[in-house]
Structure 1
Amino acid sequence: MAKSAAIYDLKGLNCPLPVLKARKRLAAMRPGARLWLETTDPLAVIDIPAFCVDAGHQLIETAAVTGGHRFLVERGSAA
């Protein structure tokens, strides 16, 4: 059974706001919980994966969508 994931709309925000907001939202979640991040910032394709590595989260999926990108992040236990 696939885990359900909330969607966090970060569209219209530019670096560094998507990462800062994602960090805060993930910090409030349980380890193993998943969150879709939806962005329009072109730098998010670099920033979100780097943030996941630095914070100990797992980037499950990345998808290009019209006008931006979606990232499925699983919260790590160390954050």
Structure 2
Amino acid sequence: MSGPGGDAAEVDARGLRCPAPVLRAAAAARTLPAGALLRVTATDPAAAVDLPAWARMRGHELVTCEGTGDLVVVTVRLTG
């Protein structure tokens, strides 16, 4: 759950391949309230496309999608 100051809940999907990062994000999202931030860190390059698409399909707000070397970090604000 988001902590004080809007800290994001974290999903570590490093080392997992499609569709596991999206499945992990979806499972975490079900446990969080609307307005919470969810940050997913993945090493699968497809996550840079798959996670924003999942967020869009679910009506969540894509906050950031960044690639840093071998990592993809996606932050989403969940909707109700």
Q: TM-score, normalised by structure 1?
A: 0.89
Moved over 6 A (4+): none
Across the aligned residues of Structure 1 and Structure 2, the Cα RMSD in angstroms comes to 1.4
Residue 62 of structure 1 corresponds to which residue in structure 2?
65
Q: Secondary structure at the match of 1:60?
A: strand
- Matching residue's letter, 1:51: W
Q: Alignment identity in percent? A: 33
Identify unmatched segments of 5+ residues in structure 2: none
Structure 1 counterpart of 2:40, from 37, 42, 48: 37
Q: TM-score, normalised by structure 2?
A: 0.88
Unaligned runs of 5+ in 1: none
| SS of residue matched to 1:9 | strand
Q: Report how many aligned residue pairs link the two structures.
A: 77
